[in-house]
Chain A
């Protein structure tokens, strides 16, 4: 490959001596502009080492004369963002939920903030589109266990459900089999009756037997005809939406062992502005109430 440089007859230029497959390289000078850019780059590198963080050490690194740090830049940017939001946050804090929704700009701000907060805090259970799942309510539909007004949603988020907060929303769906209130067969009958409320029952006789048991044991919370009671968070059993599932086995499971879904209180974790924004965002998802 490497050889001795020689003068090329055709161009009259010296070769580099490099030869690949009989192709030789002429030792032409570098373009001047390229050379100067190269020298400038070398100089720039030296200046950069002095000015900016450059060399790693054992436990530290050279800081550079300008004291630049990407971590500081991020912190400053975050502080700047926070400062730019302060005015809006103050307005959100000082306004009622109703007022915020009526003010177009504030509403847009709250929706955007709520969306981000929802993604950070709520999607783990409720899903990224708030579509919920088994045991976790879908927040897009029109069924609200504890009420779908702005205030009611706000209360649910702030205090939680069966949470550690002293004002938490709480109810107690008995475990009718485990606590030996009803027999297995009776529970099956009640399940048939519950299904009949939304027109999905298969055994009319069992359903009619179950009706009596329902009146004795369930109406207190779920109301007559299973229409539910928002004050107690008792779901409407006559509509077509089911939090845990509307098939017979799941309904029997719910009656036999009860259901005690938990939502934590967010008051302790999120600031009031974020909770307000979340309420507005959740309210807007499916149109709220």
Chain B
């Protein structure tokens, strides 16, 4: 065991340099490639698990079927632009209900704030698409070219058949993953199985191919070539999240109180002058961001916790307790240095407020969604002309009445008017001249009819009178009322 450890330590001193360490990265410096070593341990296992889970969701969800009856798409999650509908399992949204999406975005943002204030950058470390795909791309690279040392060697070697072969294979696989990513994206916008066949038989829409190409490009560039640069230079989130965190937020931390002064020791505590850190730099070699966690919390650190796994492995070999690098808080670091006991405070003002905000928004969303009507009404009063005088002297106003039937069956609606002594009520193109003419609306559609209301001028109290237009489902009695006005000539005093 100890010889192996010595090997590690010797390797480390030769090759290891945290390329994104502040001192190593001057302005305008060209990017230094990073060759993260394979890590093993509980957090690596968790990351594999989350990768499988999130990628499965992304790639498979479009293929889940959901029966909505005849004539309706049977895809569980579908953004149907031509049909103007958004389908999400049992929910079916019309374009004017896009505020639900806003609600979801607000909840998503609040959840992100909540988890960041509790556990630090868990989003960055585990579930951000950039992290997941980069992780996948690095795994491919490792599979093709070997682990860290082999990759560095290959990188420094002159061009050879082997190098060209390996690099081509790697980039080909990356591109294929990119194509799959773009391919899965377009499935959310059309019937997935149909589009799947169309894509391969070259019968799909040009738009579909364009988006596949676009996402292939972005996936390949961001996940394969740009990698950590996206997090360091492009992403606003590392800059913003400082506002969500405080000294009690968990972050991947090097416990310098325990590790320092770092130095070589073959067994635990065999030299009183050294801390537990043996300076093997395993935390540096596994880091996909190219930093040294021992420099303290840094903007570049995505808290992927791979250095924890690497360090724990070494600590096991050393016979010292695990957790020299661990999820810890700044407050605890200060407490330990001051000789006090560790204490994790999850219940803090900000976490409580974030949680309350989440509950509140979810409750509002849930309420609105549950009480959502399958019937909607819009009334537009004619403005040109404002009113029409008829030959019998009565005043007529016209209204464009739009009835939205959000159900998948034909429905009959009675249109009625109150608030005014109505002389005649007529809907253009509908023979029914009763006081509540029936309008039939096709399934899942909007019908626009023109309603004429005429009132005897002597019955108008003022030039503008309120009028309520109500549509009632003749079958179940559901109704919606729209408040409009009836305008007549100015009353002369």
Which residue numbers of A lie inside 8 Å of B, CB to CB? Answer: 28-29, 32, 101, 107, 127-131, 138, 140-143, 236, 239-241, 284, 286-287
Contact = CB atoms under 8 A, between A and B. Distances in A.
B200 interface: no
Given A131-B385, A284-B450, A142 B429 contact: no
A128 B452 contact: no
A131 B426 contact: no
A129 B392 contact: no
Contact of A140 (B27, B28, B388, B391): B388
A130 B385 CA distance: 8
A143 B429 contact: no
Interface of B: 27-28, 382-385, 388-393, 396, 398, 426, 428-429, 450, 452
A128 B382 CA distance: 12
B429 A107 contact: yes
Main secondary structure of the interface of A (DSSP, over half): loop
Contacts of A286: 388, 396, 398, 452
A212 B384 CA distance: 42
A266 B198 CA distance: 51
Given A240-B391, A286-B396, 5 more contacts: A130-B385, A143-B390, A240-B389, A241-B390, A287-B428
A129 B385 contact: yes
Nearest to A30: B28
The 4 A-B pairs with the shortest beta carbon distances in the complex, nearest first, are: A129-B384, A131-B385, A239-B391, A240-B393
9 contacts: A28-B27, A129-B383, A129-B385, A131-B385, A140-B398, A141-B391, A141-B396, A241-B389, A286-B388
A236 B391 contact: yes
Contact of B388 (A29, A32, A138, A236): A138
B26 to A, nearest CB: 11
Contacts of A236: 391
A129 B381 CA distance: 13
A101 B388 CA distance: 24
Nearest to B457: A240
Given A29-B28, A131-B385, A140-B385, A287 B452 contact: yes
A142 B423 CA distance: 15
Contacts of A241: 389-391
Contact of B390 (A29, A130, A131, A142): A142
Contacts of A240: 389-393
A239 B391 CA distance: 5
Main secondary structure of the interface of B (DSSP, over half): loop
Contacts, number: 53
A241 B426 CA distance: 21
B28 A141 contact: no
B389 A287 contact: no
A32 B392 CA distance: 80
B429 A128 contact: no
Contacts of B396: 140-141, 286
B157 to A, nearest CB: 27
Contacts of A127: 384-385
Most chain B CB inside 10 Å of its own CB: which residue of A141, A241, A286: A286
Contacts of B383: 129
Contacts of A130: 385
B426 A287 contact: yes
Most chain B CB inside 10 Å of its own CB: which residue of A140, A239, A240: A140
B428 A284 contact: yes
A97 to B, nearest CB: 13
Contacts of A131: 384-385, 388
Contacts of B388: 131, 138, 140-141, 286
B426 A141 contact: no
Nearest to B383: A129
A252 to B, nearest CB: 22
A101 B391 contact: no
B487 to A, nearest CB: 13
Contacts of B27: 28
Contacts of B429: 101, 107, 284
Contacts of B389: 141, 240-241
Contacts of B398: 140, 286
A200 to B, nearest CB: 11
A141 B390 contact: yes
B391 A128 contact: no
A241 B457 CA distance: 14
A201 to B, nearest CB: 16
A28 B27 CA distance: 10
Contacts of A32: 28
A141 B396 CA distance: 8
A174 to B, nearest CB: 24
Contacts of B384: 127-129, 131
B392 A239 contact: yes
B391 A143 contact: yes
A142 B388 CA distance: 9
B489 to A, nearest CB: 12
B391 A142 contact: yes
B201 to A, nearest CB: 28
A145 to B, nearest CB: 11
B28 to A, nearest CB: 6
B457 to A, nearest CB: 9
